[in-house]
């Protein structure tokens, strides 16, 4: 009676590793090409935190303070509109598993922001903004580190770690200075890596 020999798996461990490596390289290349979003959103959030600090700690004329607020809103809306337009143009392109995973990471982070506020309100019966900002920064740091880890991209990982450390540091200060620290964190974790990614992309 003949026994059939088990056939070897055509998709072995080495091939699986190569596929995963290829997916990461594709995602890294896409991240470099999309480095402009790190730059734009980094500047938007850095500007928001900095103007929040200035409005609370620096004596300004009402007209200039109003100008800073309007400029920030217009800048943010333009970046949001460009982001939506870009995503709409990319909707028909093939989505990678890594890209989908990153989308869930950032959507989950937004959901956690909402939950943090709900939990804080349930426990304290108010929103303590001096507690909220460091907690939000920690969630942001977590998302940045996970993103950098999935993509195996050290500048993003380092930026996320520094973001988390700045969150801890900011917790020792009042809200206005927390906004200043948050502005610096966005610049370090988004603007600097964003410029690096955009500069090293293949033209």
Residue 85: HSE in the Cβ half-sphere, 13 Å Cα cutoff: 7
Residue 159: HSE in the Cβ half-sphere, 13 Å Cα cutoff: 28
| Selected residue with higher pLDDT from 91 and 30 | 91
pLDDT at 108 over 80: yes
Distances (CA, A) of 169 to 18, 134, 185, 201: 41, 9, 11, 34
Task: Tell me how far apart the alpha carbons of residues 5 and 56 are, in angstroms, rounded to a whole number.
Answer: 76
| Least trusted range by pLDDT, from 9-13, 142-146, 186-190 | 9-13
| pLDDT tens per residue, range 50-104 | 999 998 888 878 888 889 889 999 999 999 998 888 778 766 665 666 667 777 8
Q: Which has the closest alpha carbon to 137: 115, 174, 168, 106?
A: 168
Structure tokens at 63: 């007209």
Task: Tell me how far apart the alpha carbons of residues 183 and 180 are, in angstroms, rounded to a whole number.
Answer: 5
Q: What percent of the chain has pLDDT over 90?
A: 40
Cβ-contact 72, 50 below 8 angstroms:
no
Task: Tell me how far apart the alpha carbons of residues 128 and 175 are, in angstroms, rounded to a whole number.
Answer: 10
Task: Tell me how far apart the alpha carbons of residues 8 and 71 are, in angstroms, rounded to a whole number.
Answer: 63
Tokens 């080495």 correspond to 14
pLDDT for the residue 77: 94
Structure tokens at 92: 């028909």
Cβ-contact 56, 175 below 8 angstroms:
yes
pLDDT for the residue 145: 92
Q: Which has the closest alpha carbon to 201: 20, 36, 19?
A: 36
pLDDT for the residue 12: 56
């Amino acid at each position: 009676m003949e026994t059939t020999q088990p056939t070897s798996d055509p998709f072995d461990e080495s091939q699986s590793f190569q596929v995963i490596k290829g997916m990461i390289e594709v995602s890294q290349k896409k991240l470099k090409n999309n480095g402009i979003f790190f730059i734009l959103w980094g500047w938007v959030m850095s500007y928001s935190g900095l103007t929040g600090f200035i409005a609370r700690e620096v004596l300004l004329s009402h007209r200039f303070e109003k100008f800073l607020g309007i400029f920030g809103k217009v800048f943010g809306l333009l970046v949001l509109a460009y982001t939506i337009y870009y995503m709409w143009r990319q909707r028909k392109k093939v989505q990678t598993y890594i890209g989908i995973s990153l989308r869930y990471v950032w959507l989950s982070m937004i959901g956690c922001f909402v939950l943090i506020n709900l939990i804080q309100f349930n426990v304290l019966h108010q929103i303590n903004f001096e507690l909220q900002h460091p907690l939000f920064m920690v969630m942001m740091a977590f998302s940045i580190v996970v993103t950098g880890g999935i993509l195996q991209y050290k500048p993003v990982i380092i930026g996320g770690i520094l973001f988390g450390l700045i969150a801890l540091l900011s917790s020792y200060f009042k809200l206005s200075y927390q906004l200043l620290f948050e502005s610096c964190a966005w610049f370090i974790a988004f603007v600097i890596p964003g410029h690096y990614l955009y500069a090293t992309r293949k033209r």
